Amino acid sequence: MHCFVFLFIFGCVNKALCLQSSCGVEQELATTQGAAGCGWNLKRPAATVEHRTVSVDPDAKYSTLANEEMPTVQGEEKKLQTRSDCLMVSSGYGILLYGEGPQRPVHVDSFYMDIQEVTNRQFQNFVNATGYVTEAEKFGDSFVFEGILSETVKNQITQAVAAAPWWLPVKGASWRHPEGPDSNITDRLNHPVIHVSWMDAVAYCSWASKRLPTEAEWEYACRGGLRDRLYPWGNKLNPKGQHYANLWQGDFPSHNSGEDGYIKTSPVMSFPSNGFGLYDMVGNAWEWTSDWWAVHHTTDQQHNPKGPPSGTDKVKKGGSYMCHKSYCYRYRCAARSQNTPDSSASNLGFRCASQDQR
């Protein structure tokens, strides 16, 4: 069973761009400012990169405890049985700068996809079973959006990202302490785990006998069986006034009205699922994919593409609760951004995929 998935688009965006009333302005903003808003420049200082290597103790990984602690929710995945007639076409808010084009046919074999982002509870089970230490914990800090920090923590910080001053490196910030040492996840166990690097995500998925999805798989999953649509649910951001994803309402970065109910992450599955039964494919937390980042693509049809063989950054998809159309129009299935594999931030998580049911 096969499917041809058309990824991204730029060369034929003119008609699609008209789907949005003011998209010309949006595109300009997104191309000139969106990178910083999406965390593009969140790179760790070179001096600390030496801590990059991480591993999971094999004995711990396969221990009885590890197996017993596997939460049942990890079994919640959907088989995405691809069909030869499911030609998918990006509805095309293509941004050339980020390699959203050209549109191209891609064959993807059937695969299983987690229906939700990996939660704090799931990640906690993994850590309890393996003793795993995340890269943010090894580095001793992680990037946090200024707007969700306490005054106490903010007052202790003297540096920021020049192009995106709302991103602050917070000592002690990690998946356990999302806004720094004075925060915890006690009441957020069903929220997506954040402050996890690409290596952390790979370690978790490996422990769960899964893997990260490729970018092609992720985009196919995001579309939920629809063709020519911007979002997993269609082309309108808020059909009938309803919110379909945890995004940013208000003025970025100064005011988040929380109109959708959340100003930070939300419990997974708080918004409607897409046609494949997958939740939060856009919004809530950004999601790592297995692909290295590139902006130039062949238009030749590819089978199960895995991205470039090497690179410096990994592709992330879906946008986050921080995405606003004026600055980070990345909550579209075709949209993409990137970070170095050791990056971590308060809006970046992941979900796993697998070839066989787990």
What residues make contact with Ca ion under the rule CB under 5 A? 246, 260, 262, 280, 284-285, 318, 321
Query: Given the DSSP bridges, would you call strands 302-303 and 104-107 parallel, antiparallel or unpaired?
Result: parallel
Q: Which is nearer to Ca ion, 130 or 338 (CB)?
A: 338
Q: Which is nearer to Ca ion, 82 or 284 (CB)?
A: 284
Question: Could you tell me the smallest distance in angstroms from the CB atom of residue 176 to Ca ion?
Answer: 20
230 Cβ neighbours under 8 A, 6+ residues apart: 19, 20, 91, 92, 93, 332, 333, 334
Residue 15 Cβ, how far from Ca ion at the closest point, in Å? Answer: 28
Q: With contact defined as beta carbons under 8 Å apart, do 97 and 293 qualify? A: no
Nearer to Ca ion (CB atom), residue 88 or residue 285: 285
CA distance 22 to 294: 28
The minimum distance between CB 84 and Ca ion, in angstroms, equals: 28
**Least separation, in Å, of the C-beta of 160 and Ca ion?**
23
Q: CB-wise, 249 or 302, nearer to Ca ion?
A: 249
| Residue the block writes with tokens 């925060």 | 183
Q: How far is the CB of 76 from Ca ion (least distance, A)?
A: 15
The first and second tokens of residue 182, run together, are: 């004075």
Q: CB 346 → Ca ion: shortest distance, Å?
A: 13
Which CB, 267 or 318, lies closer to Ca ion? 318
Amino acid at 43: K
337-339: strand order across its sheet: 337-339, 314-317, 286-292, 348-349
Q: What is the dihedral of CA 285, 29, 332, 305, to 10 degrees?
A: -90
Token code pair at residue 98: 């980020």
Minimum gap (Å) between residue 167 Cβ and Ca ion? 18
Output 142 or 284, the one with its CB closest to Ca ion: 284
For 262, the token pair is: 């959340």
Among 202, 125, 193, 221, CA closest to 349 = 193
Q: Provide the 3-class DSSP secondary structure of residue 26.
A: helix
Among residues 284 and 326, whose Cβ is nearest to Ca ion? 284
With a CB cutoff of 8 Å and minimum separation 6, the contacts of 228 are 16, 89, 90, 91, 92
